Amino acid sequence: MVVGGQVTHELEVQVSASQAWELISTLELAKLIQQTLTDVVEKIEVVQGDGQAGTILRITCAPGVPGPGWQTEKFTVVDNEKRVKVAEVIEGGYLELGFTLFRVRAEIIECSSSSCIIKSSLEYELKEEAAANVAIDSLVSAHPFAKIAEIAKNHLLLQNENNRDYDA
C-alpha cells in the first residue's frame, strides 16, 4: 500500500507573469537558490540539459542538513505557454527515505499586467512501511516553497527597482 498527498503554496508578486516565468523557468532559479540558501544547499550541478524538459540537476545539501545529503532531480515539464515547470526526484534524497514519488510543480498565474502568483505544489507518495518510520510532516511541507518563492519575489522586485533606476 502507498501513502500520498499534496501540499501547495501561493505567493502574489508585483511583477508581470512573463518576468516571473523568465526566472522560474530557467536555471537562473537554481543559481539563485544556491546563492541564497547556503544553510540548506551546498551546490547545484547541472548534470545534463539547459533548463528545458529533460534537464537533470544534482543537489548537494549543506553540511548538517538531516537526510541523505544529496538528490538528483529531472525537469519533466517546462511549458512556456502554460508557464508550468515540473521536476521529480529521480535518485537519492527523498527516494532513499522510502518515497516512491516526489514531484514539485511551479506555475506562474497571471493576475494583471503587473502582478502574478507563484504557485508551488508538491505531490508525494511513499511506501506504507516507510511512512511509519518517517516524520512525514517535517519532510512534506510548504515551508521550502514559501522560502524559495519569497527569494524569487525579492530578486524580481530588486531587478525591477534596478531597471527603474537605470531607466531614470
Secondary-structure class of domain 2-167 per CATH: alpha beta
Quick one: pLDDT at residue 125? 93
SS3 158: helix
Instruction: Determine phi and psi for 33, rounding to 5 degrees.
Output: -60, -45
Q: Which of 31, 74, 82, 85 is catalytic?
A: 85
Beta bridge partners of 112: 115
Nearest CA to 75 among 95, 90, 60, 62?
A: 90
Q: Give the mean pLDDT of the chain.
A: 91
82 is catalytic: no
Residues 32-44 have pLDDT tens digits of 999 999 999 999 9
Q: Where do the structural domains in the chain lie, given as residue ranges?
A: 2-167
Instruction: Determine phi and psi for 152, rounding to 5 degrees.
Output: -60, -45
Query: Quick check: pTM over 0.75?
Result: yes
The two beta strands, 41-48 and 2-13, are: unpaired
Residues 62-88 have pLDDT tens digits of 998 887 899 999 999 999 999 999 999
